[in-house]
Structure 1
Amino acid sequence: MDKVTRSGVTLHMDIQGPEDGAPVVFANSLGTNLHMWDPILPFLPKGLRIIRYDKRGHGRSDVPNGPYTMGQLVGDAEAVCDAAQVKDAMFVGLSVGGMIAQGLAVKRPDLIRSLVLSNTAAKIGTPPLWQDRVDTITAKGLPALSDMIMRRWFSRDFYGSAAMSNWQTMLEATPQEGYIGVCHAIAGTDFFTPTSGLRVPTLGIAGAEDGATPPDLVRETIDLIPGSKFTLMRRAGHLPCVEAPEIYANHIYNFIEATGHLRHV
């Protein structure tokens, strides 16, 4: 299975690993597709059933007319999980993917056994900030903001390197309507109250040089969930899975061990 259709929107999926493996679902950031997770896959433990997908408006998924709502994005993730017959998954969400993870854990606790909330928050930015970004993209196109976004995404060491170019290309290839649609969804989301009611094992990951969701913002959200763990990755920005994939995967591996996720199946 490589796709699922929900409310007329077809979402592209990628599923790897044994059917009876411990499920781990990955949701990526604004302006990226499921290949954002490629660098960490070789370092994850064997025996996992890995489910990745492209958000609406991104990658190979459909690009419906916007604006989008967080409810739609959470519903899309729910449809992906149901199509993959997922129960009791570890859900790894980065940036807006982490917002989706929070919303899904509240809506469908049967799907979520544990959370990895990476470079994310219960509320990211302000409506005026997102409207300014939407207005600029509408007037000038997404590439006009590409360099600014790269500076917010990556550490000083990684910014400007040859390795960065692939990710800049991925951002600029994102459909403008899809990018703007998700901006509206983020702008309209404040999960402080629902997230504070979550009671699932949670690992928070932040990048010390993250210009989009700084460490203190990430920690503030992780601290809403009793018993959660927080880790800070030095010399990494908003996409630590790209900059330091082996270290990032090791954090997930240790969390899998700590929660007995592989043994749970």
Structure 2
Amino acid sequence: MPDLRGHGGSDAPDGDWSMRDIVYDVADMLFALGLKDTLVVGMGIGGLIAQALAAEFPQSVRAMVLIGTAAKLETEERWLTRAHALSTLPDAERAQALLHSATRKSADTHLRDIAQSTPAQTVRRMCQAVAHTDLRISTDALRLPTMGLVGRDDRITPPDLMREMTEGIPGAQLQLIPRCGHLTPYDAPEMTAQAINRFIEQTGHLLPDPDCENPTI
């Protein structure tokens, strides 16, 4: 699970960032690790990255799990407005704004700390990158195993938006997670993990362990 540019321990290059820049960061990591035919899981903006990665580097992505995302997220104007507004808030208020409407549960200390530790300029640059991203044509052209997961109560990327995206990819699955908001892995970790594990088995990514008692599991 990589830290994107400007997040965690990763550097934050100067200037504005495009979604292509961010996608190429992930592609460079895959190349450096010698990874091919991967199953990529992306949530929210990570889902945009997964779609673009599959379109740009098809040899690197054999299957995708897209959680609470879409091929186009809202309008450019709204994302640019959000970029400016979030980058001018104090850290605690910015964290609260990022988590508002994202979960049906109260955010715990760990989740708040993650949101609060993300630098204001990183949030601004990521929002600007999303503002200029429209993957509807390239995502509709994808032909690879895909599963979409979305919370029934997701107000940021509603189920209908996810359904529209997955219907454009032949054979793609869509699973709704009950009593769950936008942060599906946070609101419903067990159901999310179970859905991903089933998909891993279906796509042949889960290999038998020859050292276990029953190697067929």
Give the TM-score normalised by structure 1: 0.75
**Pairs within 5 Å for 1:19-34:** none
More displaced stretch, 172-181 vs 146-155: 146-155
Which of 190, 203, 208 is the equivalent residue of 1:246?
190
1:74 counterpart residue number: 23
Contact 1:58–1:179 (8 Å) recurs in 2: no
2:203 counterpart residue number: 259
Q: Report how many aligned residue pairs link the two structures.
A: 208
**Aligned CA distance change for structure 1 residues 76 and 54 (closer, same or farther; 3 Å):** same
**Aligned CA distance change for structure 1 residues 66 and 137 (closer, same or farther; 3 Å):** farther
1:122 counterpart residue number: 71
Unaligned runs of 5+ in 2: 209-217
Q: CA RMSD in A?
A: 1.5
Question: What is the DSSP-based 3-state SS (H/G/I as helix, E as strand, rest coil) of the residue aligned with 1:113?
Answer: strand
**Deviation of the 1:142 alpha carbon:** 4.6
Q: Distance in 2 between matches of 1:126 and 1:164?
A: 30
**Deviation of the 1:148 alpha carbon:** 3.4
Q: Percent identity?
A: 38
Letter in 1 for 2:163: R
More displaced stretch, 193-202 vs 119-128: 119-128
1:213 counterpart residue number: 157
1:232 to 2:181 alignment: no
Structure having the larger proportion of residues in strand: 1
Question: What is the DSSP-based 3-state SS (H/G/I as helix, E as strand, rest coil) of the residue aligned with 1:56?
Answer: coil
Q: Distance in 2 between matches of 1:66 and 1:239?
A: 29
Question: What is the DSSP-based 3-state SS (H/G/I as helix, E as strand, rest coil) of the residue aligned with 2:40?
Answer: strand
More displaced stretch, 112-121 vs 63-72: 63-72
Unaligned runs of 5+ in 1: 1-51
1:134 to 2:83 alignment: yes
Give the TM-score normalised by structure 2: 0.90
1:53 counterpart residue number: 2
More displaced stretch, 224-233 vs 163-172: 163-172
1:107 to 2:56 alignment: yes
Q: Distance in 2 between matches of 1:148 and 1:53?
A: 24
1:26 counterpart residue number: none
1:143 to 2:92 alignment: yes
2:142 counterpart residue number: 198
Q: Distance in 1 between matches of 2:49 and 2:88?
A: 28
For CA contacts below 8 A with separation 6 or more, give which structure has more relative contact order. 1
Q: Distance in 2 between matches of 1:219 and 1:66?
A: 35
Question: What is the DSSP-based 3-state SS (H/G/I as helix, E as strand, rest coil) of the residue aligned with 1:74?
Answer: helix
Q: Distance in 2 between matches of 1:98 and 1:134?
A: 19
1:29 counterpart residue number: none
Which of 22, 39, 46 is the equivalent residue of 1:97?
46
Contact 2:87–2:123 (8 Å) recurs in 1: no
Contact 1:208–1:236 (8 Å) recurs in 2: yes
